[in-house]
Amino acid sequence: MHKTDDITLDSICKIEGHASLDVKVLNGEVKNVKLKVVENMRFFKEAVLGKKFSSVQSLVSRICGTCSTAHFMGAIECIEHTFNAGVSEQSLMLKHLVMNSMQIRDHAMHLFFFCLPDLFNKDSILDFKSDSEKSLLHDALHVKEVGNAMGRKIAGRSVHPLHPTVGGFSKLPSNDDIKSLIRMIKSERDKAVQFVDLFYDWDKVLERDTNYIATHMGDDYNFLEGNIYDSKGVCIPDFAFTNYLNKVVVPYSQAEGFLYGGETYMVGALARMNINKGNLHKYTRRDLSKHISRFPSKNAYDNNLAQAIEIVHAMDHSLEILERLELRNEPVQEIKPVAAGGTGIVEAPRGTLYYYMEFGGEGVVDKIEIVIPTAQNQIMIEKDCGLLVQNCLNADMDKDEIKRELEILIRAYDPCMSCATHFLEVNWK
Amino acid sequence: MKKIRLGWITFTCSEDNTIVFLELMNKHFFEFSDKIDFAYCKVLRTSPDIFEVKDIDVFFVEGAISTDDERKQLEHIRKVSKYVVAVGACACTGYPAGQRNRFPPLLKRKISNRVKRYGLNSEVHPVSKYVKIDDRVMGCPMQEEAFLSILNKYLEMVI
């Protein structure tokens, strides 16, 4: 490639949402990288203000289709914490199943629909034509369906849940639902394991030093409970999380960026695995010890491997819950709103999702703050893209190859532009 | 075997209908890939610039229209497609993507700088405001059975 050519990806395909990338190159050196989130704003943060607490989760769910369950559950967690509404053990277990269903479905969509073609040097799974490729796709779709089926049976829908609510569940799954999910997970788990091998053997490497942030809880690896930790073992108090972050205005993008204590950081499956791998389910650790031993990893592409491992973990964790679940009818806990503020923190597929809301005495939202995973990764994505392009230039790769490599790297981050775009709040002069 | 040339585009929305479409593929992928040429579908494959796309049998449009650029893309889609189908609540009704249309004056004033800065139109509209729509699949997200029924209708008409 010519040493002063700039690189532009006008429209990045096979990601969630709309984004473009500009890389400025001068005399063989990368000078500037701009990841532009070009989703159009829908102003959810403003729309929530003045709404009753009981309607918030359904509204914020519409921020993003694929992350809808994370927003729905994050808002419920925030409201329940704020009003001291301790839910039953049964509701807690069902919530874990809902979160696990989301991870399986969403990771499977990302790994199999978006990334799998990269491993086979193809553009799309639509180009998988041989019997072995079709067999692999068949297995991939079965793994993905486990997540969708869990979402439908436990949450009522796998996109925009219906049954979880503030204080419990408005409708419970049937015993037949539970039995069918147990059969399904047992039948499909081996299919999920084979994909861990595939992503383990992928030879892409982009190693760099950065911080990682994820929730962590004692001896458990879950996506619902826990405190925020960084990869140095520092626990960040929930209420103070945003004090540790430096909000960065990204003037060319419809999303904002973040630094942690002035430094870059990453959230998502790679961060969770780096911080919490010792707490994966015992059966996941038993069957995937070789793959798990790669972590902690500095390789950005290992986010894909971490997601593949998390699919197996979410299945193992769910199976354990389902096999000991003895469902009984119980009322949704009555909520007594007070004037207060509180936090809700969940692990969305793409990383730590943070909700802070303040309510008036009638349970009406006075203030809302949401920290989105993709916004937290924005600066790190740009930095990694710059490093990648420099490596490619040094290796004398041509422009088309570099563009392809950039798309593969950005996909490995699994960015979600629908989420990222809605919380930019800048006072433009 | 003749395939239907299909387009799928997302405008201003949460993309939940895209996710439901991919969910349907869990069970229908091999049938869809046999019968459908995904001529424009960025979530599934590298797709050309929308203004280079032509000769589409049926284009599914998700999301509301909130910029002039989206309107121009939509008008091009209408020109090059035999049938255009609006999928999901935002495309069909303009909401919830257009919730800012109903903000009180003070809140509209608060967001006005960002509306201007990012070239957003003053109001968000359903796709039918700008082009003729042949079918609608309602729901937020779209109802799966209704979508399959409409997709099958066009598969039978074209193939």
Nearest-CA neighbor of A332 among A80, A58, A61? Answer: A80
- From A139, which residue of chain B is nearest by alpha-carbon distance? B26
- pLDDT for res B22: 95
Half-sphere exposure of B70 (CA within 13 A, CB side): 29
User: Among all residues of chain B, which has the CA nearest to that of A17?
Assistant: B15
- In A227-382, DSSP assigns E strands to 227-230, 235-236, 245-248, 257-260, 265-266, 340-348, 351-359, 365-371
- Under 8 Å between Cβ of A390 and A26: no
Measured distance CA(A171)–CA(A148) in Å, rounded = 18
According to the model, what pLDDT value does residue A251 have? 83
State both tokens at A414.
């699994």
B66 with A124: Cβ contact below 8 A: no
Question: What is residue A163's DSSP assignment?
Answer: S
Q: Give dist(CA A333, CA A90) in Å, integer.
A: 12
Q: What are phi and psi of A277, to 5 degrees?
A: -65, -30
Buried b (16+ CB within 10 A) or exposed e, A335-348: bebeeeebbbbbbb
Give the per-residue pLDDT at A5: 73
CB of A409 closer than 8 Å to CB of A300: yes
Q: Which of A159, A249, A418, A426 to mutate to test the interface with B (most CBs of B within 10 A)?
A: A159
For residue B67, the chain A residues in CB contact (below 8 A) are 40
- Cα(A392)–Cα(A369) distance, integer angstroms: 39
- Each residue's pLDDT expressed in tens, for chain A with a length of 429 residues: 556 578 888 777 778 888 889 999 998 999 999 998 878 889 999 999 999 999 999 999 999 999 999 999 999 999 999 999 989 999 999 999 999 999 999 999 999 999 999 999 999 999 999 999 999 999 999 999 999 999 999 999 999 999 999 999 999 999 999 999 999 999 999 999 999 999 999 999 999 999 999 999 888 999 999 999 999 999 999 999 999 999 998 888 878 899 999 999 999 999 999 999 999 999 999 999 999 999 999 999 999 999 999 999 999 999 999 999 999 999 999 999 999 999 999 999 999 999 999 999 899 999 999 999 999 999 999 999 999 999 999 999 999 999 999 999 999 999 988 776 644 443 322
Tokens of A184: 């399904």
Rounded to 10°, the helix A373-394/A399-412 angle is 150
Q: How far apart are the first and last CA of chain B?
A: 8
Instruction: Considering only the beta carbons, identify the residue of A47, A127, A144 that sits closest to B26.
Output: A144
Backbone angles phi, psi at A111, to 5 degrees: -70, -40
Taking only Cα atoms into account, the Rg of chain B, rounded to an integer number of angstroms, comes to 16
C-beta separation of A178 from A327 below 8 A = yes
Residues from chain A contacting residue B45 (CB–CB below 8 Å): 13-14, 123-124, 126-127
Measured between CB atoms, does B3 come within 8 Å of chain A?
Answer: no
ipTM summary value: 0.95
Compute CA distances B141 → A18, A61, B147, whole Å: 19, 11, 11
The pLDDT of residue B52: 97
B19/A46 CB distance under 8 A: no
For chain A, the structural domain boundaries read: 44-376
Output DSSP code: residue B146.
H
Q: Largest alpha-carbon pair distance within chain A?
A: 69
> In chain A, what is the straight-line distance between the N-terminal and C-terminal CA atoms, in Å?
40
pLDDT of residue A2: 59
Residue B22: its chain A contacts at CB < 8 A?
109, 113
**How many angstroms away from the CA of B85 is the closest CA of chain A?**
19
Three-state DSSP at A350 gives: coil
Per CB-CB distance under 8 Å, the chain A contacts of B43 are 13-14, 16, 113-114
- Rounded alpha-carbon distances, angstroms, from residue A205 to A5, A210, A303: 25, 15, 11
Using 50 as the pLDDT threshold, list the residues of chain B that sit under it: none
- B149 contacts chain A (CB < 8 A): no
Inter-chain contact B111–A46, Cβ cutoff 8 Å? Answer: yes
A17 shares contact with chain B (CB less than 8 Å): yes
CA pseudo-torsion sign A235, A241, A243, A247: positive
CB contact, 8 Å: B138 with chain A?
no
Subunit contact A13:B70, Cβ cutoff 8 A: no
Radius of gyration, alpha carbons of chain A: 21
**The total number of residues written for chain B in this structure:** 159
Q: Any idea which fold A44-376 has?
A: Cytochrome-c3 Hydrogenase; chain B (1.10.645)
How far apart are alpha carbons A113 and A294 in whole angstroms?
25
**pLDDT score recorded for residue A218:** 83
> Which chain A residue shows the shortest CA-CA distance from B108?
A46
